[in-house]
Amino acid sequence: MNKIGVILIIFILAGMGYTAYSFFFNNSSENITTVNRINGEEPINLENYIGQKKTILQFVAVPCECCSYSMPFIQEFIASQSDIEVITIVFFGKEREILDKFENEYKATHLWGVDPKRDLANYYNVSVSPTYVFFDEKGNELGTHPYIIATSEELGQRYEEAYESYHHESGPDNQ
C-alpha cells in the first residue's frame, strides 16, 4: 500500500470516529431552531422557513471537495426560482476557512450558517457531506439525499421526487 492510500484510510477512519463520537457523546442542548452566523449577520431562525415555505437544508463540511463542486449549482438553483428556500449549514470546519470559502470562493448570496456542535446534523442524522434535507411548506420532512448533486436541475428534481413520494404515500390529508 502506498503512502497516499494509508493517509486516505487514516483520514476516513478519523472522520468516521469523529462522526460516531459526535453522535453518541454529544451532550449539547440540541438547539435545532437557530443556525449561528460567523459573518456578523443575525442568526437564522429556521422556524421562519421550515413550516412557512418549501425548504432545503444543505449540510456541508469545509473543506469538502464534493461540497465545493456543488456550490455553483446551489447558487444557480437559488437564482432560478423563488419557491424553495435553501439554507446551507456547515457542520464541520475551521471558522477562517469557512468564511473564506463562503465569502471569497463561493461568493454565497443565500442563507448559510454553522453548526459546530452538530446539534442540527445529529438531529437530522446527517453523517456525510453534502447531505440535503427536504421540507414541504407545512414543515413535513420529506426525506434526505446524501452525497453530491451535480446540477441545479438535479436538485429541483430530487426535491420534487421527495415531495411527490411523501404526499403520495401519506395520502390526501398531507397534500
**Can you give the pLDDT at residue 27?**
46
Q: What is the pLDDT of residues 51-96, one digit of tens each?
A: 999 999 999 999 999 999 999 999 999 999 999 999 999 999 999 9
168: CATH: 3.40.30.10
pLDDT one-digit tens code per residue, 95-130: 999 999 999 999 999 999 999 999 999 999 999 999
| Residue 28: pLDDT band with limits 50, 70, 90 | very low
**Which pLDDT score is estimated for 132?**
97
- Contact assessment for residue 35 and residue 89, using Cβ atoms and an 8 Å cutoff: yes
Q: What is the pTM of this model?
A: 0.80
Task: Report d(CA 153, CA 136) in Å as an integer.
Answer: 18
Predicted pLDDT at 105: 94
Q: Could you tell me which residue, 115 or 24, shows the higher pLDDT?
A: 115
Instruction: Count other Cβ atoms within 10 Å, centred on residue 134.
Output: 24
Considering only CA atoms, which of 5, 55, 26 is closest in space to residue 118?
A: 26
pLDDT classification of 40: cutoffs 50, 70, 90: confident
> What's the confidence (pLDDT) of residue 54?
98
**Phi and psi at residue 60, to the nearest 5°:** -135, 165
Mean pLDDT of the chain: 87
Confidence of residue 39 (pLDDT cuts 50, 70, 90): confident
Determine the structural domain holding residue 108 and report its residue range. Answer: 3-174
pLDDT higher for 132 or 25? 132
> Which residues in 26-55 are b (16+ Cβ under 10 Å) and which e?
eeeeeeeeebeeeeeeeebebeebbeebbb
When divided into structural domains, the chain yields a total of 1
2 — pLDDT class (breaks 50, 70, 90): confident
